[in-house]
Chain A
Amino acid sequence: MKKFKLSFQIGALFVFGMILLAADHIDAPAVEGTSSDITDFYAFQGDSDKIVFVANTQGLLSPMATGDATFDEDVMIEFNISTDGDATEELVIQAIPRDGKMYFFGPTAATGNTGTSGTVQATADFTSVDITPYGDAAVIGNNDNGIKVFAGPRDDPFFMDFARYGEIIGGMATSFNDPGADTFAGTNVMSVVIEVPKSLIGGTGSINTWVETKKK
């Protein structure tokens, strides 16, 4: 039997001092807990001819805190899409709130927006939706292109025994528990969701995609 040293007891390097959480939950000290703080990103096939993009922000919202959570009007959530297999985007979808509504611009050309700063493509087609208030049924926006959009609080879909992971990394445990405990159970996030026809993002093949928050 292979006996290995608990090399993660090389503690100092691996003690992610920041108590809490993961995915990208708790990986952004500069923006932690703010509306620029991305907790998660998903992209999957919805209807067979569409792709759904999900960006979650402001993680670990308790039910009590969720009613007060808002989207910041100075923060743009930008989905980036590379259609040619590299890590530079050709297309962007930009979501930004104004007066209780979320506006999703695009998909549109990423020209001028491929660096660390950019602007909202205000002349692009957009789809808008009322931001769903906490406790209300999900409000869905549509446009003639077949795009659907949503913005508002959702149950955090992320699940992980992050507490135990921290103990392992910190040298206080040597294995995961079975069963584990979902550290994110019972918490909410602020989500933006957009479902887009594949024809608008390259049609066929595969894309590389990631999400950014940009702040004014």
Chain B
Amino acid sequence: MKYIRIFSLAILAMLAFQSCDDDESTGGPIVEVAPDVSGTYVLADQMGRPAINTVFVSADNKNDFNTTVPSQQAAKYGEAFGDRLRALSPTFSTDDDKNLLGLNATDFGNTLATDVLTVSLDGLTTFASADLSTVLTGRQLTDDVITTELTLIFGGETGGEVPTLSDDNVDANDKAFLTTFPYLAAPF
């Protein structure tokens, strides 16, 4: 009797281990189940390019800008962005005045108002390379985006028209980035 019971248990054990092996052979432990994430979620904040809302949108409009989807931002804010560029920078006094990208205040304002980041899937991804030969193909952690934007606002056609306003002279993070995922440095 005892031997039959042990034998049955042994068979059951073998079967149990068999099914465990099957799970492992399909790629790992039991498939994880998604938690309950039901509900309606409403837009609270958004961002494409750095500092755009901060610099270009008046205090009264910041919340509205943040809750306007990008495809509708230019229609609502393009003109205001152009006006802000003209008011902010002496290098945009006429419609013929352009920046390094060859854009006048109206066109630059319209471009910036649609607040998205363009990212290349084919090569160098950078907000601006050191010699400015590649611009707006992404944003790396090391990119000095503020100096790039200041140059495009205050630098005029050559980028060097108002040097004292085109560079904040902070060109690197206070901690080195990681060379592997997750790339951002550990917290202080």
Contact = CB atoms under 8 A, between A and B. Distances in A.
B114 A176 contact: no
B173 A159 contact: yes
A36 B58 contact: no
B166 to A, nearest CB: 9
Contacts of B171: 159
- Contact residue range for chain B? 35 or more
Interface in A39-53: 40-46, 51-52
Contacts of A140: 181-182
Given A76-B41, A154-B185, A176 B47 contact: no
B interface, over-half SS = loop
Interface string B171-188: 111110100011111111
Contacts of A184: 174
Interface stretch (B16-24, B66-74, B94-102): B66-74
Interface size class of A (residues with CB under 8 A): 35 or more
B45 A193 contact: no
Contact of B54 (A24, A103, A174, A188): A24
A46 B184 contact: no
Nearest to A142: B181
Nearest to B176: A155
A209 B54 CA distance: 19
Given A7-B90, A30-B63, A75-B44, A193 B184 contact: yes
A178 B38 CA distance: 51
B117 interface: yes
Contact of B168 (A98, A122, A165, A186): A165
Interface in A57-96: 61, 63, 66, 74-76, 80, 82, 86-88, 96
A191 B37 CA distance: 20
B139 A43 contact: yes
Nearest to A183: B170
B45 A212 contact: yes
Given A18-B59, A43-B138, A155-B173, A87 B71 contact: yes
Given A23-B50, A161-B169, A28 B63 contact: yes
A148 to B, nearest CB: 5
